[in-house]
Amino acid sequence: MAGTVHVVGAGLAGLSAAVSLVEAGRRVIVHEAAKQAGGRCRSYYDPTLGLTIDNGNHLLLSGNTSALGFMKTIGAPADALTGPAEAEFPFADLKTGERWTLRPNAGRVPWWVLAASRRVPGTKASDYLAPLGILKAAAGKAPGQGGTIGEAMACEGLLYDRLWHPVLIAALNTEPKESDVGLAATILRETLGAGGAASRPLVAVAGLSAAFVDPAVAYLIRRGTEMRFGHRLRSLTFGEGGVTELVFGDETITLGADDAVVLALPPWVAAEVIPGLAAPQAYRSIVNAHFAVVPPPGSPLLLGVVNGTTEWLFAYPDRLSVTISGADRLLDVPREDLGKQIWAEVSTLCGLAPELPRWQIVKEKRATFAATPAEAARRSGAETAHRNCVVAGDWTATGLPSTIEGAIRSGTTAAHALARSTGGCAQARVRGAA
């Protein structure tokens, strides 16, 4: 087709959609309200710390095939993601002082649970059968129809406290007991359930922008894509044939017969510009704390923490950073108090002086949609009621919770959906959606 596809939103979902469309031979223009690309997954300079940080710490896994495929397509640096050679997850218990490392074996048959040195201290092999209830409850069920994790497995006990709760709340950003069992099942099938080869942790130590955003923008520009920053969509105009106009603050773009739109916007914005669009309505927060301290030698890149406010401690080359998921309870805690509280835990874990270094607290109130059955059922597919308009975003019906993997997958899915609805050519060359 000769028409232009207007991708509105240059977060990872929009960039993924744009790359997929360019790969399929479409002419693309990307519109972004901010002055830079990346959305909620980007790097920026923080003057308080005197460091460049990400606006959220993100962990990827080697089983995140969509994200890794996207990075390969855009030519991201080979060392953009760092992680151990094999799947291993160090943990520390702030209450007891115990430390251990979870080490799944590479293959799908989980023989690692038979080795006491590889599993959580104080647990036995049979304890690890509990998540089978999640897979069973989700089998054959539509999104949001399988019930909650709390209904599918016992959300209590030593193994739950030391493994399943930290892993599930990090993935879902919602208290596991109330989270949708289908979303959890997808995570388990694609990562831990697929063995250690799919569960190796990966972190963008040089920043999310260096790993995902900058290479994607450079790729799109090389392929002739026009990037329009500071270009906020105000509304859409609809006609019998679908979307007829894109109304921005400074101009109105009239769409031709072969033009189309990909809306890669937050759910509350997408639902506002497309009346009747299904979208989540409840959200959960994430709190990140950053400390301008070089990690002690030998610090693990990622440390899971139990029995504390801190949940995951990231050791970047120039700082220590903490992520706390499902953090609504912390939104009203004064930043100074929170910084001191978290640093007290970090300094204990790392053997550092108790004096608070330069710090920064980032509270993201609507970090992800609430991963409950009700909200999972509200997620929209890529297609809309308008032939030439599709949506993308980690909040759409990807089968995954709000993650980088889900955002990138949604962009590919939107590109496929647009090709189907508009009869686009070269469909086979669009990157495959998992």
Express each pLDDT in 116-146 by its tens digit. Answer: 999 999 999 999 998 999 999 999 999 899 9
Distance between CA atoms of 259 and 265, rounded to whole angstroms? Answer: 19
Q: Is the pLDDT of residue 220 over 70?
A: yes
Beta bridge pairs of residue 27: 4
**348, 367, 376, 396, 402 from 370: Cα distances, Å:** 32, 9, 8, 13, 9
* pLDDT classification of 415: cutoffs 50, 70, 90: very high
Q: How many residues can be counted in the chain?
A: 434
For the stretch 314-356, pLDDT in tens is 999 999 999 999 999 999 999 999 999 999 999 999 999 999 9
Distance between CA atoms of 316 and 38, rounded to whole angstroms? Answer: 20
Other CB atoms within 10 A of residue 79 CB: 10
Average pLDDT over residues 391-399: 97
- Please identify which residue in the block is written with the tokens 């890794």: 68
Q: Is the pLDDT of residue 425 over 80?
A: no
The helix/strand/coil state of 275 is coil
Distance between CA atoms of 343 and 338, rounded to whole angstroms? Answer: 8
Looking at residue 296, the DSSP 8-state letter turns out to be P
Here the tokens at position 354 are 């108790």
- One DSSP character per residue, 386-417 reads STTEEE-STTSS-SS-SSHHHHHHHHHHHHHH
Specify the pLDDT at position 2.
73
Do β-strands 389-391 and 312-316 pair in parallel, antiparallel, or remain unpaired?
unpaired
Edge-first strand listing for the sheet containing 242-248? 233-239, 242-248, 252-254
Percentage, residues of the chain above pLDDT 70: 97
What one-letter code names the amino acid at 95?
K
- The phi and psi torsions of 17 (rounded to 5 degrees) equal -60, -45
Distance between CA atoms of 121 and 93, rounded to whole angstroms? Answer: 11
Distance between CA atoms of 39 and 410, rounded to whole angstroms? Answer: 15
Average pLDDT over residues 239-259: 94
Looking at residue 210, the DSSP 8-state letter turns out to be I
**199, 274, 288, 376, 383 from 62: Cα distances, Å:** 6, 36, 23, 25, 29
Rounded to the nearest integer, the mean pLDDT of the chain is: 95
Q: Is the pLDDT of residue 431 over 50?
A: no
Specify the pLDDT at position 430.
36
Specify the pLDDT at position 426.
36
Q: What percent of the residues of the chain are helix, what percent strand, and what percent coil, each to the nearest 5? A: 35, 25, 45
For the stretch 43-74, pLDDT in tens is 999 999 999 999 899 999 999 999 999 999 99
Q: Is the pLDDT of residue 37 over 80?
A: yes
Q: Is 42 exposed, middle or buried (0-12, 13-18, 19+ CB in 10 A)?
A: buried
- One DSSP character per residue, 72-137 reads HHHT--TTSSB--SS--EEEEETTT--EEEE---SSSS-GGGG-TTTS-TT--GGGGGTTHHHHHH
Question: ∠38-59-337 over CA atoms, to 5°?
Answer: 85
